[in-house]
Amino acid sequence: MAKSDPVAVVGAGPVGLCLALALAQQDVAVVLVEAMNDGNFLDQVPRAGSNHPTTLEFFDRIGLYEKMEPRGLIAPKFHYWDRQDNALIAEFDHVLLKHDTRFPYVLQCERIKIIEEALKMAKAHPNIDVRLLTTFTSFEQTADGVTAQVTNAAGEEETIAGRYIVSCEGARSIVRKDLGIEFEGFTYPDRTLNIEVAYDFRKHGYAERNYISDPDEWSNLFHWKGPPDRWRVHFPTKPEEEEEALTVPAALQARLQGFLPTGRDYEICGCNLYTVHQRVAQKFRGGRAILAGDSAHVNSPIGAMGMNSGVHDAFNLADKLVRILRGEADDAELDRYERQRRHVAVKHTQAQTIRNKRLLQERDPAVRRRNHDELRRTAEDPELARKFLLRTSLIESLREAEQIA
């Protein structure tokens, strides 16, 4: 394959890095453009980190899994709790998926560690030209190729030519805006408060991953490998609450003590407040420009589906681009990418994350009881529990996408 015709990948987040590595390992030349540099790349707020079994299979395919496992925590089980009764509702164990996947567990390994390891691999790969501190600003396309305008590390305007351009720029994708593609959906008025704390919640019966229902103070509780060993607790906020009032140390302590009183201050390692969007791009492709990951879809983190489904986009797209560039398929393959991955974004990721939030914050006592009873019944029946896990782990979404012509 001609090394002179690279694929331009914009954004070295988890999606851009996986795409670049998957292409490069199949002998496709890639230019990977990233606005951040070695000085600030690893200085980003904590975000995604629960990696589902299918995503681990993809990471394994490019040799990334073995670098992540020692830096993460293997979490086969997750819990649903009722905060009002302080009671465990249901426990799900991925061991039920042992015939469906080689990785019957979630790996708790944060985005920052994934991109650190993947960036090292990308820099070492001869087929990837990694351009850090290079900001993509616009692009043009013809029938044969694309040209991307960037401001490079020297502060100069530069044009990068490629066969295709893939936007892995995150939710604010310039490519999506330049193509005039609608980002359909909505934004929740309430923001989510994320507090990182060094405290071992396991001694109170919690699993490594927990979803906690409460009409006012629903939360998520996740464990991350240190040092220092940390847990992340998510809380809802009211739209009118000011960031400063929510994030002063006394307010954070009150929030945590309200969740689990310990009688002494929690050791808080960090906090951030974020806005949650539920949006899917109306199209994933405009000619030779393609959207993947958060550029194409964003959702609430309840259920850990954003990064996972973005990584699934990357591998789906890589396989298709390789076939096209080898002359084994034509551009229509890219329409199939859109049909498959947009279907997953709408019918699985969006539907499920919206449902997850609704479940946790349900106010009607009768509906809460019904929901909790159903979770209990599902967890107690191995066949129902397996079906449930096939959905939550995104295995079902991949199998369904495979059926789309």
Ligand X SMILES: Cc1cc2nc3c(=O)[nH]c(=O)nc-3n(C[C@H](O)[C@H](O)[C@H](O)COP(=O)(O)OP(=O)(O)OC[C@H]3O[C@@H](n4cnc5c(N)ncnc54)[C@H](O)[C@@H]3O)c2cc1C
Question: Which residues of this chain interact with ligand X, rule CB under 6 A?
Answer: 10-16, 33-36, 47-50, 111, 135-136, 168-170, 174, 194, 274, 293-294, 301, 304-308, 310
Q: Which of 328, 400, 299 is nearest to 1 (CA)?
A: 328
Q: Which is nearer to ligand X, 279 or 368 (CB)?
A: 279
Q: Which of 1, 70, 112, 100 is nearest to 395 (CA)?
A: 100
CB of 140 to ligand X, least distance (A): 16
Q: Which is nearer to ligand X, 24 or 372 (CB)?
A: 24
Rounded CA gap, 298 and 291, in Å?
12
Q: Which is nearer to ligand X, 300 or 340 (CB)?
A: 300
CB of 366 to ligand X, least distance (A): 31
Cα dihedral sign, 262-268-272-276: negative
Going by their DSSP bridges, the two strands 192-197 and 7-10 should be labelled as: unpaired
Tokens 């899994």, residue located: 65
Q: Which is nearer to ligand X, 9 or 379 (CB)?
A: 9
CB of 58 to ligand X, least distance (A): 13
Q: Which is nearer to ligand X, 32 or 372 (CB)?
A: 32
CB of 201 to ligand X, least distance (A): 17
Residue number of the CB closest to ligand X reads 13
Q: Which is nearer to ligand X, 34 or 214 (CB)?
A: 34
CB of 314 to ligand X, least distance (A): 8
CB 280 within 8 A of CB 295: no
Q: Which is nearer to ligand X, 116 or 319 (CB)?
A: 116
Rounded CA gap, 160 and 4, in Å?
11
Q: Which value, to the nearest 10 degrees, does the dihedral of the CA atoms of residues 59, 64, 67, 68 take?
A: -30
Rounded CA gap, 335 and 192, in Å?
35
CB of 171 to ligand X, least distance (A): 7
CB of 148 to ligand X, least distance (A): 9
CB of 221 to ligand X, least distance (A): 12
Q: Which is nearer to ligand X, 340 or 392 (CB)?
A: 392
Q: Which is nearer to ligand X, 90 or 233 (CB)?
A: 233
Q: Which is nearer to ligand X, 16 or 236 (CB)?
A: 16
Can you say how many angstroms the Cα of residue 165 is from the centroid of all Cα atoms in its chain?
21
CB of 176 to ligand X, least distance (A): 11
CB of 342 to ligand X, least distance (A): 15
Can you say how many angstroms the Cα of residue 202 is from the centroid of all Cα atoms in its chain?
25
